[in-house]
């Protein structure tokens, strides 16, 4: 066993559960929040122009940016969860091959996606709802963030997930955090100092692209400095994992990527429906969709910190520790969600004014945010159960829940409530749909627990 693995088995096997979860989750939460902050920083600084069309143009690209991140879910979530399970089975050599395959897969898939966005830029912007006032802003931002910055962005997130899978949550969190802080520092420099007035969105895109490239370089440097016996060492491309491991990567990674794609399809539908009202409404909901991710990213950070511990102990058949980890993580996530609901209900107006001073945009966004935040506890529970099944290596259950959430509940609810209630129906759709999603998630998990987990424990 390598020195790195030996140090980190304490987190997986012996450290008290609350401390283990917090050790894994806190760096991940911090990095999630920094990622959110630097995503919102673009909106914040663009909002200083008081140009709602520029804000709307940047907001339109959020779903495509998040779709690029689904590529990192393919290898990062699928490969990372498998690496944790393989370590629980003491199969380090196979874990090393899984890591290598995941890195090569992420780099190749990200390059293909970036080239596809470049080739189909105009029809893609039209699909997203870009009009004559927003097209140039949206396409410029997409070129820099997706086309130029796609590969380093995807690799950074994949390598971060791989580091978490072996217990190196601090290194993973530091890299993402560093990239975010650099982005925040570069935004005003590029937007208001180096580039002329009217080019602010180009400056924001260039800052994001460069900061992600620096973060990627950090991860590569960290991995190159690991000892020869470490799990996270690249094998030759021809040294593939076993067929069973390849199936394990894709059985979790593909559902995770699809769930991310469907999540962003939901955002695309929201943008399309809102663009049918006014560009002001589109700008307002764009800010809200970023602001609501603050508590959501905290919840995702908790889930990402929990998953390697659950996966390791599931494979090691330490079901008591697995269940203790699950229970503590769920309580912690629900507490954070409840606090966020209270804070956003009270401070929705000031939150909107952080991003833009336009009175009409602030007024619409304040109402939108107070409605959307009510779904936060439900959204956490939805993601929580998906991460549990990913930790178990049960990607088909995660895929089922993801497909049902977005295709059966969320997106149909968007169209239904839009027709019945107008643009406020679009905003209410998340809470309405997630009531159904959580009920289904609990039922599916209870059924799996009775049929599989309890039987294995006995």
Note whether residue 403 is domain-resident. no
Q: Would 441 be classed as within a structural domain? A: no
Pick the more confident residue, 260 or 209: 209
Structure tokens, 226 = 């690991």
Residues in contact with 23: Cβ distance below 8 Å, sequence separation at least 6, in sequence order: 11, 15, 169, 305
Residue 419 in domain: no
pLDDT in tens, 314-344: 888 888 899 999 999 999 999 999 999 999 9
**The predicted structure's pLDDT at residue 376:** 92
pLDDT at 381: 94
Neighbours of 228 (CB within 10 A): 6
Q: How confident is the model at residue 234 (pLDDT cuts 50, 70, 90)?
A: confident
- pTM of the predicted protein model: 0.76
Instruction: Give a yes or no: residue 379 inside a domain.
Output: no
The rounded percent of the chain whose pLDDT value lies above 90 is 24
> In this structure, what token pair is assigned to residue 276?
């049918």
Kindly state whether residue 454 falls inside one of the protein's structural domains.
no
pLDDT digit string, tens, across residues 244-276? 888 888 888 887 788 777 777 787 788 788 878
For the chain, the residue count is 458
Task: State which residues form the domain around 365.
Answer: 3-374
248 within domain boundaries: yes
Which tens digit of pLDDT belongs to each residue from 175-199? 888 888 898 889 889 988 888 877 8
Band of the pLDDT at 2, cuts 50, 70, 90? very low
Weakest-pLDDT range from 31-40, 92-101, 252-261, 400-409: 31-40
d(CA 291, CA 22): 24
SS (H, E, C) the chain: CCHHHHHHHHHHHCCCHHHHHHHHHHHHHHHHHHHHHHHHHHHHHHHCCCCHHHHHHHHHCHHHHHHHHHHHHHHHHHHHHHHHHHHHCCCHHHHHHHHHHHHHHHHHHHHHHHHHHHHCHHHHHHHHCCCCCCHHHHHHHHHHHHHHCHHHHHHHHHHHHHHHHCCCHHHHHHHHHHHHHHHHHHHHHHHHHHCCCCCHHHHHHHHHHHHHHHHHHHHHHHHHCCCCCCCCCCCCCCCCCCHHHHHHHHHHHHHHHHHHHHHHHHHHHHHHHHHCCCHHHHHHHHHHHHHCHHHHHHHHHHHHHHHHHHHHHHHCCCHHHHHHHHHHHHHHHHHHHHHHHHHHHHHHHHHHHHHCCCHHHHHHHHHHHHHHHHHHHHHHHHHHHHHHHHHHCCHHHHHHHHHHHHHHHHHHHHHHHHHHHCHHHHHHHHHHHHHHHHHHHHHHHHHHHHHHHHHHHC
pLDDT grade for 1, boundaries at 50, 70 and 90? very low
Average pLDDT on 83-91 reads 85
pLDDT exceeds 70 at position 227: no
Rounded average pLDDT over 401-410:
88
422 in a structural domain: no
Name which residue leads in pLDDT, 149 or 454.
Answer: 149
Greater pLDDT, 455 or 118? 118
Quote the CA–CA distance of 227 and 440 in Å, as a whole number: 45
Contact criterion met (CB below 8 Å) for 187 and 42:
yes
User: What digits encode the pLDDT tens for the residues 361-391?
Assistant: 888 889 899 999 999 999 999 989 999 998 8
pLDDT value of residue 23: 86
- CB neighbours (10 Å) of residue 90? 12
Report CA dihedral (222, 225, 231, 232) to the nearest 10 degrees. Answer: 40
Summarize the confidence of residues 340-358 as an average pLDDT. 87
- Residue 164 covered by a domain: yes
Phi (first) and psi of residue 343, to 5 degrees: -65, -40
Residue-level pLDDT at 454:
60
Q: Based on the structure, what is the number of domains in the chain? A: 1
List the single range of 266-270, 396-400, 406-410 with lowest mean pLDDT.
266-270
Give the tokens for residue 292.
Answer: 């609501």
């Amino acid at each position: 066993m390598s020195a790195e693995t030996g140090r980190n088995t304490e987190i997986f096997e012996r450290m008290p559960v609350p401390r283990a979860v917090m050790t894994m989750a806190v760096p991940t939460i911090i990095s999630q929040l920094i990622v959110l902050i630097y995503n919102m920083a673009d909106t914040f600084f663009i909002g200083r122009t008081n140009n709602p069309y520029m804000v709307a143009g940047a907001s339109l690209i959020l779903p495509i940016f998040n779709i690029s991140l689904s590529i990192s879910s393919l290898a990062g979530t699928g490969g990372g969860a498998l690496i944790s399970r393989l370590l629980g089975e003491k199969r380090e050599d196979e874990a090393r091959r899984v890591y290598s395959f995941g890195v090569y897969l992420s780099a190749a898939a990200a390059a293909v996606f970036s080239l596809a966005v470049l080739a189909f830029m105009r029809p893609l912007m039209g699909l997203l709802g870009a009009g004559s006032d927003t097209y140039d802003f949206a396409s410029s931002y997409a070129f820099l963030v997706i086309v130029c910055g796609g590969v380093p962005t995807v690799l950074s997130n994949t390598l971060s997930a791989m580091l978490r899978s072996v217990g190196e949550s601090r290194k993973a969190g530091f890299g993402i955090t560093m990239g975010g802080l650099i982005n925040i520092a570069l935004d005003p420099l590029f937007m208001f100092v180096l580039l002329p007035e009217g080019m602010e969105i180009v400056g924001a895109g260039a800052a994001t692209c460069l900061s992600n490239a620096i973060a990627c370089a950090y991860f590569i440097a960290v991995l190159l400095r690991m000892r020869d016996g470490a799990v996270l060492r690249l094998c030759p491309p021809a040294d593939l994992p076993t067929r069973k491991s390849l199936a394990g990567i894709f059985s979790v990674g593909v559902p995770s990527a699809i769930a991310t794609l469907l999540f962003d399809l939901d955002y695309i539908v929201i943008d399309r429906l809102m663009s049918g009202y006014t560009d002001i409404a589109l700008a307002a909901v764009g800010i809200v969709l970023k602001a609501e991710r603050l508590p959501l990213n905290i919840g995702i950070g908790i889930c990402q910190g929990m998953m390697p511990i659950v996966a390791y102990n599931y494979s090691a058949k330490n079901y008591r520790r697995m269940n203790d980890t699950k229970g503590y993580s769920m309580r912690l996530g629900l507490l954070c969600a409840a606090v966020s609901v209270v804070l956003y209900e009270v401070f929705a107006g000031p939150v909107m004014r952080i991003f833009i001073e336009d009175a009409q945009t602030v007024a619409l966004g304040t109402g939108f945010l107070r409605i959307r935040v009510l779904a936060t506890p439900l959204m956490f529970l939805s993601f929580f159960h998906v991460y549990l099944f990913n930790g178990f290596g049960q990607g088909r259950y995660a895929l089922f829940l993801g497909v049902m959430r977005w295709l059966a509940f969320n997106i149909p609810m968007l169209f239904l409530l839009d027709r019945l209630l107008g643009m406020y129906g679009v905003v209410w759709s998340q809470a309405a749909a997630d009531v159904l999603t959580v009920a289904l998630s609990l039922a599916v998990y209870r059924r799996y627990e009775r049929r599989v987990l309890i039987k294995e424990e006995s």
